[in-house]
Amino acid sequence: MKPFATFYAVLVFLFFNNKIFAQDKCGTVPYMQQLYQQHKIDPLQVENWIAKKRLQQKNSPNQKNQNGVYQIPVVVHVIHKGEPVGTGVNISDEQILSQIDVLNKDFRRENLDANLTPSIFQPFAAAMSIEFILARQDPDGLFSDGIVRKQGTRSVWGFTTEAELKSQSFWPSEDYLNIWVTDLAGTLLGFAQFPFTTLPGLEGEPNIAATDGVVIDYEVFGSIDDGPFILDPQFNKGRTTTHEVGHYFGLRHIWGDDDGCTESDYVDDTPNQGSDTSGCPVHPQSSCGGVKMFQNYMDYTDDECMNLFTAGQVERMQIILDDETVPRRNSLLTSPGLEFPPGFTNDVSLREIVNPTPVTCIADELKIKIQNRGADPLTSCQITYQIDNQNPITIVPTFNPAINTSEVRELIISLNTIQDGAHTIEVNVDLPNGNADNAPSNNTLVKNFIINNTQEKAPLNERFTSDFASLKWLNVNPTGNLSWQSVNTNYETSAFYSNTTSTSQSTAWLVSPVIDFSTGLNAAIRFQYSFLDAQNGNEKFNLYYSDDCGLAYQSVLIDLTNSRTSTVASTIEDWEEQLIELPALIGVEKARIALAYSSNVSNGFYIDNIQIYDEAIGIKLEPEIAFLAYPDNDGNINVTLNLPDKNPGLIEVFDLMGRSIASQSYDDALNQTITLSTKPISFGIYIVRLQSTGKQYTQRILINPR
């Protein structure tokens, strides 16, 4: 690519509110120009220096460790708003581990989507021998898991508050790659400080060290492939951090930060392109007389479209890491943060109880995730589990290959038959490699679950007219005691959940019986909810669905909308409605659907009028309306049923003379839309009659044939 005379010290990843980047909204250029002017640095000298280093590097070995790998100690500073761990900005350890895993896979080219690199670019794609490691000791020499959590002095952060943000929590940047995760203002997703050199005239001022590192918005940190994290749909595979760490190691945007074909990223094997790329376009795309490498991590495409660094980019990053005149990069390779302090060689952590799930048909296996946080490879540990306070059962699995430091591994343990009903399981891991655990506080988890095989055939509805004890929908809180209740509303009674404490996050699941969709042409759910934001309650609402009776669930996050102004749902206007299609369940015989609300404090969350469909979805009707008849465009009559229970019945259409025009019987209709063929039919008024369980309903309808 052609040379360019400006090389920014800090580069930024900016997007519109709809997350599509527009270069005139970036703001990076004036910010960086000001930074260079402030420190009296000529950026062109940096590129001249790197060019010389490329020639010298061929005659000198890379400064890797004894295993031939660059090891980088990372500290993640989570600057939150006071939320409990695992909610809101105060993201979970699992989400942080996910991002570290993404960095390692992307830089090493071990990413699962590496095979999606177009064949034209395969010869240029390259792996870097690098390992990102969460810091094993802090600056005081004490044991660390590389994660620091701090309630910040602001609710959102940006460029103008950068120094204040980083002062909330900071470790010496010569020994640690500092990554700050927080809520960034507006459209900002992340930014990084570019490396400086101590060559004469290029040193910068000492305060540069106090801001060195990477800043990432919490909604783009981690990968949806590793858990049900709440992430931006376009940037949910951790590639924003990959992009910004690329900047941290000296990489420029692939298009050279210009609006034309004249400028450069100073890497020979990245094709010249005139501007950034947004979204996820179809390959190939042309620019500057060639094919765009929009799959490169240093472009602005969606995460699912990014999959490579080039050999030239890897070489450039190695130059930065190998040279002693680049402070706060080369020194990372010998950081004490890479070593465990004495006394923390043995630490096994229980990360998650995956199975049993909150509601399932059978619990024949215990599936857990454990992490080795000790200095030595983990070859064995002791696992003890106890169900419903029965006699505990202990096993001692051995691991071959051993579990390396920071590695998370899933274990499956067969369980004896557990009867239907509500249960509690407690799991403890201990004795890593047969030794006492140096940090036993992370060894134990408890989970509540229900085994239930009650089966219903779609369609279904639930109006919560009876006590939860007699409902077929199941009520469970996997990690706590708070659960759904039946309360009075304008719909007589509704399901209600409220967490009144701000000290802990709690999630309650409302789970359907096993649903048979095997003979339907559709799978969908419609329901109403009533919500009033509690402010800082970290509230979220998920729909989960399972195609295997509850052995595993997929998640759909539902955006919560304030529907009421008072704390009680008392009118129709206090409710919002959701309709969600679930095509993955079409034809499934043993499906489940769950609605789960989570908060650490709330004004109360209501659910009512759940309807599950396996055929066409008709017009939404209020509970007191038994059916609605209306003509379609082909001269037929559609009848949308809204019955409280499934029962046999008959639908008939009469003219005003009492003559039957059409009729259809059914065995177990509930909320379907049934089409009656009435062609040919004359203009006029007709009567539609519904008979079911000894009751009769009628409606007049005007037909105007086409």
Query: Is the pLDDT reported for residue 84 higher than 50?
Result: yes
Helix axes 311-322, 43-57, angle to 10 degrees: 100
**Residues 6+ positions from 441 with CB-CB distance below 8 Å:** none
In this prediction, residue 248 carries a pLDDT of 92
Residues 654 and 671 in one domain: yes
Q: Of 618 and 100, which is predicted with more confidence?
A: 100
Answer with the one of 418, 451, 484 that is the final residue of a domain: 451
Asked if pLDDT for residue 206 goes beyond 60, the answer is no
The pLDDT value recorded for residue 5 is 27
Same domain, 360 and 495: no
Q: How many CA atoms lie within 13 A of 217 on its CB side?
A: 26
Phi-psi bin for 547: left (phi > 0), alpha (psi -120 to 50), beta? Answer: alpha
Q: What does the mean pLDDT of the chain come to?
A: 86
Which domain range does residue 426 map to?
348-451
Rounded Cα distance between 700 and 241, Å, is: 62
Q: How far apart are CA 557 and CA 547, in angstroms?
A: 18
Say how far apart CA 15 and CA 240 lie, in whole Å. Answer: 12
Q: Which residues 6+ apart lie within 8 Å of 233 measured at CB? A: none
Provide φ and ψ at 628, rounded to 5°.
-140, 130
Q: How many residues does the chain have?
A: 706
The kind and range of the H/E element at 627 are strand 627-631
**How much is the pLDDT for 677?**
84
**What's at 370, amino acid-wise?**
I
**pLDDT given at position 288:** 94
Q: What percentage of the chain's residues is helix, strand, coil (to nearest 5)? A: 15, 35, 50
As a whole number of angstroms, the distance between CA 93 and CA 506 comes to: 17
pLDDT score at 65: 65
pLDDT at 542 over 70: yes
* Residue 461 bridge partners (DSSP): 611
Burial of 181 per CB tally in 10 Å (0-12, 13-18, 19+): buried
pLDDT above 50 for 125 = yes
pLDDT score at 527: 95
Q: Summarize pLDDT for 426-447 with one digit per residue, the tens.
A: 999 999 999 999 889 899 999 9
Please give the single-letter amino acid code of residue 67.
Answer: N
Task: Count Cα atoms within 13 angstroms, Cβ side, for 331.
Answer: 15
Residue 2, domain member (yes or no): no
The pLDDT value recorded for residue 500 is 80
pLDDT of 57 = 64
In a domain? residue 343:
no
Distance CA 58, CA 55 (A): 6
Listed residue (132, 131, 129) closest to 62, CA to CA: 129
Same domain membership, residue 296 and residue 387:
no
Task: Please state the domain count of the chain.
Answer: 4
Interval 405-417 mean pLDDT = 91
Q: Is the pLDDT of residue 20 over 60?
A: no
Mean pLDDT, residues 326-332 taken together:
90
What average pLDDT score do residues 364-382 get?
94
Strand duo 637-641 + 673-676: pairing: antiparallel
Same domain, 384 and 417: yes
Task: Supply the CATH number for residue 477's domain.
Answer: 2.60.120.260
pLDDT in tens, 659-691: 988 898 888 878 888 888 887 778 888 999 999
pLDDT at 41: 58
CA distance 274 to 277: 9
pLDDT tier for residue 238 given thresholds of 50, 70 and 90? very high
Q: Do 282 and 218 have their domain in common?
A: yes
Is the model's pLDDT at 2 over the cut of 90?
no
Q: Which of 11-15, 98-102, 202-206 comes out lowest in average pLDDT?
A: 11-15
How confident is the model over 389-413, as a mean pLDDT? 93
Query: Looking at this protein, which amino acid is placed at residue 326?
Result: V
Q: Is residue 394 part of a domain?
A: yes
Query: Which residues, 6+ apart, have CB-to-CB distance to 507 below 8 Å?
Result: 477, 478, 479, 480, 596, 597, 598
Residue 646 belongs to some domain of the structure = yes
* Residues 202 and 301 placed together within one structural domain of the fold: yes
Same domain, 510 and 608: yes
The least confident of 196-210, 360-374, 610-624, 666-680 is 196-210
Does residue 309 form part of some domain? yes
Q: Which of 253, 257, 266, 247 is nearest to 298 (CA)?
A: 253
Q: Tell the residue number behind the tokens 């609402």, with chain if given.
A: 541
Asked, for residue 3, whether it belongs to a domain, the answer is: no
C-alpha distances (whole Å) from 89 to each of 223, 494, 500 are: 15, 31, 20
Q: Provide the b/e sequence for 335-358 (b: ≥16 CB within 10 Å).
A: bebbebbeebebbbbbbbbbbbbb
pLDDT of residue 18: 29
Is there a contact between 190 and 214 (Cβ–Cβ < 8 Å)? Answer: yes
CATH code of the domain covering residue 635? 2.60.40.3080
Distance CA 254, CA 296 (A): 8
Asked whether residue 478 falls in the same domain as residue 442, the answer is no
Mean pLDDT (whole number) for 557-582: 90
**Which of 417, 451, 485 lies at the terminal end of a domain, its last residue?**
451
**Rounded CA separation 502/1 (Å):** 55
Looking at the structure, do residues 273 and 220 belong to the same domain, yes or no?
Answer: yes
- Comparing CA positions, the residue from 579, 668, 540, 621 lying closest to residue 219 is 540
Same-domain pairing of 438 and 527: no
Strands (E) located in 209-347? 214-217, 286-287, 290-291
What band does 272 get if pLDDT is binned at 50, 70 and 90?
A: very high
Which DSSP state fits 512?
Answer: -
Could you give the percent of the chain with pLDDT greater than 90? 57
Grade residue 16 by pLDDT with cuts at 50, 70 and 90: very low
Q: Give me the pLDDT at residue 546, please.
A: 97
In sequence order, which residues have a C-beta less than 8 Å from that of residue 26 and are 6 or more positions away?
A: 12, 14
Q: Is the peptide bond before 401 cis (omega within 30 degrees of 0)?
A: yes
* C-alpha closest to that of 180 among 196, 194, 193: 193
Residue 118's pLDDT band, with cuts at 50, 70 and 90, is: very high
Task: Single out the residue in 416, 451, 486 at which a domain terminates.
Answer: 451
Range in 172-176, 259-263, 380-384 with the lowest mean pLDDT: 259-263
Which sequence positions are flagged as catalytic?
244
Mean pLDDT for 281-303 is: 95
pLDDT at residue 185 greater than cutoff 90:
no
Q: How confident is the model at residue 201 (pLDDT cuts 50, 70, 90)?
A: very low
pLDDT at 312: 95
Q: How confident is the model at residue 25 (pLDDT cuts 50, 70, 90)?
A: very low
Nearest to 194 by CA among 334, 310, 36: 36
Q: Which helix (H) or strand (E) holds 312?
A: helix 311-322
| Helix 239-248 and helix 93-108, axial crossing angle in degrees, nearest 10 | 60
Q: 521 and 606: one domain?
A: yes
Closest CA to 378 of 386, 369, 370: 370
Q: Which residue has the higher pLDDT, 419 or 160?
A: 419
Distance (Å, rounded) from C-alpha 218 to C-alpha 528? 30
CATH code of the domain containing 353: 2.60.40.10
276 and 166 in a common domain = yes
- Over 70: is that where the pLDDT of 9 sits? no
Residue 75 maps to which CATH number?
3.40.390.10
Which of these, 359, 350, 607, 602, lies nearest to 478 by C-alpha position? 359
Q: So what's the pLDDT on residue 324?
A: 82
Query: Higher model confidence: residue 614 or residue 539?
Result: 614
Helix, coil or strand: residue 508: strand
pLDDT of residue 258: 78
Please measure the distance between the N-terminal and C-terminal CA atoms of the chain and give it in whole angstroms.
65
Residue 550 included in any domain: yes
Stretch 26-34: mean pLDDT: 43
Q: 472 lies in a domain?
A: yes
